[in-house]
Amino acid sequence: MVSFSGEAADPSIEALKAENEHLTAQVETLEQLLEVYEQETLDKSTRLETTLAELNEHTQRLSHAETTLATLRSMLNSMGDAVVVMDLAGKFLFLNAPAEALLGIRADQTSLQAWSTTWEIFLADQVTPCDLASFPLSRVIQGEALEATELFIKSSPSLPGNWFSVTARALTSAAGDREGGIAVFHNITPLKQGEIALRKSEARSREQAQQLQLALQDLQTMQSQLVQTEKMSSLGQLVAGIAHEINNPVNFISGNLDHAEQNMADLLALVALFQQYYPDPELAIQDYIDAIDLPFIATDLPKLMRSMKVGSERIQAIVASLRTFSRMDEADMKSVDIHSGIDSTLMILQNRLKAGANAAAIEVVCEYGQIPTVECYAGQLNQVFMNVLSNAIDALEGRRSLPTAEAVPPQITIQTILTPDQQVNIHIHDNGPGIPDTIRQQIFDPFFTTKPVGKGTGMGLSISYQIITEKHGGRFVCESIPQGGTTFTITIPLSQS
């Protein structure tokens, strides 16, 4: 700037000076504004760089999240279990592939309500319906936590359906607020089918075990019956053999007794004639006559012969009874006189019926009806008579003591009746103490006995029941009154044809 002192100022110069100062001020202002702009630009650039860095980092995180989500989705889709995520309104947020395959949730079914109308849901028993409110997803969004809850789900009544074990948890925000729920459906159909098959197998095994037990009991019964039958058959053969061996000498004795009796009568007549013509014999002869007591011999010998004849006839009757009873091995049915079978059985049991040292005799009353011959297995029927009569004798043992027997004499009554429908009823009654109902209901069961060990096998009445009902198509009934005695009633048809 040039200054001239002592001279008056030039207006134009002053104006220029003022203009210059104004421009200088504007330049300074512009410089200040430029500095501010440059600073703001720098700040914006810095913020932009920061934003870009944050955006890049967010993009990386988003990419990582998408990768993780894709991996998680792939993992969930590769699971065998169905996974369902639902919000609080019941809308599906996520379904993995098994959820669509196993539960049949279609793309247009966006909510639990829409899906549940097309499927049938039951409890594990396959019978009790599971309503929507009780469904695990409905319960879990209400805050419940479910663990291994079993359900049975089917899409159609005609389809078999599947069992599921459902585990469910609520979804919560960071603040702890419920936002929905997640449920995992594990298909346990093979396990349940295995359990059902196992139960069926166990049931079959139990049934087979029961059948085997019954078969074993049947075999034991059959074995005992065979043993008993074999014993009775052997007894029949033994009795028949004994009867045959006894019968031969008895017939010989019986046949000769008549001749012996006649010869004895002739000899006694000769002695009497000798005494008539020689009343005074020689002394030695008279002494011998006195020594042997000839008059007594003459009187006693006829009695002795008659007694021998009675004994022989008795033996013949016993042999006949033994022969009648020993029909065990007769395989075919025959028409026989059942009274003869009863009598032969009583003959064999006679030793048990007669009085003993401290026991009264058992009276047997036979009330036989007019019964024609009966078509039956005679030996087996005699076995029944033997079993029933033996039991009747056993029942009366407690009443055979003399004081008791005097008050109530022990008695067995046998009654036979022919009914109008051609059935033969045989009633065998004893006036013993009777049989309690609890025991009476079991007396025909195999191996059941109230006798001490070694006294009974429990097979007698069981075999008798089968002989009457199965072999003869009849009925075998026991009626008993406590302290009123017992009656066994045998009913068989007169003719099996």
* 71 is a domain residue: yes
Last residue of a domain, one of 55, 75, 95: 75
User: In the numeric block, which tokens belong to residue 204?
Assistant: 């079959």
Residue 370 covered by a domain: yes
Q: Please give the tally of structural domains in the chain.
A: 4
232 and 116 share a domain? no
Q: Does residue 50 sit in the same domain as residue 120?
A: no
Q: What is the CATH classification number for the domain harbouring 181?
A: 3.30.450.20
Q: Is 430 exposed, middle or buried (0-12, 13-18, 19+ CB in 10 A)?
A: buried
Do 323 and 371 fall within a single domain? no
Q: Which of 300, 329, 358 is the last residue of a domain?
A: 329
Range of the domain at 379: 334-497
Query: Which string of b and e fits 358-378 if b means at least 16 CB within 10 Å?
Result: ebbebebeeeeeebeebbbbb
Exposed / middle / buried, residue 476 (Cβ in 10 Å: 0-12, 13-18, 19+): buried
pLDDT, tens digit, 9 for 90 and up, residues 370-396: 999 999 988 888 888 988 998 899 888
Q: What confidence category does residue 430 fall into, taking pLDDT thresholds of 50, 70 and 90?
A: very high
Structural domain ending residue among the three candidates 52, 75, 98: 75
pLDDT bracket for residue 408 (50, 70, 90) = confident
Among candidate residues 171, 198, 196, the one with its CA nearest the CA of residue 182: 171
Residue 153 lies in a domain: yes
Contact 290, 242 (CB under 8 A): no
**Do 83 and 153 belong together in one domain?**
yes
Cα–Cα distance for residue pair 222/228, rounded to 1 Å: 9
Can you give the pLDDT at residue 421? 93
Statement to judge: residues 306 and 169 lie in one domain: no
Predicted TM-score of the model (pTM): 0.46
Cβ partners under 8 Å of residue 84, min gap 6:
92, 94, 95, 99, 103, 105, 137, 182, 183, 185
The residue count for the chain: 497
Q: Are residues 432 and 416 in the same domain?
A: yes
pLDDT digits 0-9 by tens, 41-73: 887 888 888 888 888 888 877 777 677 767 767
- Radius of gyration (Cα) for the chain, nearest Å? 60
By DSSP bridging, strand 411-418 and strand 363-367 are parallel
Same-domain check for residues 171 and 259: no
Residue with tokens 């005799």: 361
Question: Both 120 and 210 in a single domain?
Answer: no
Are 241 and 134 found together in one domain? no
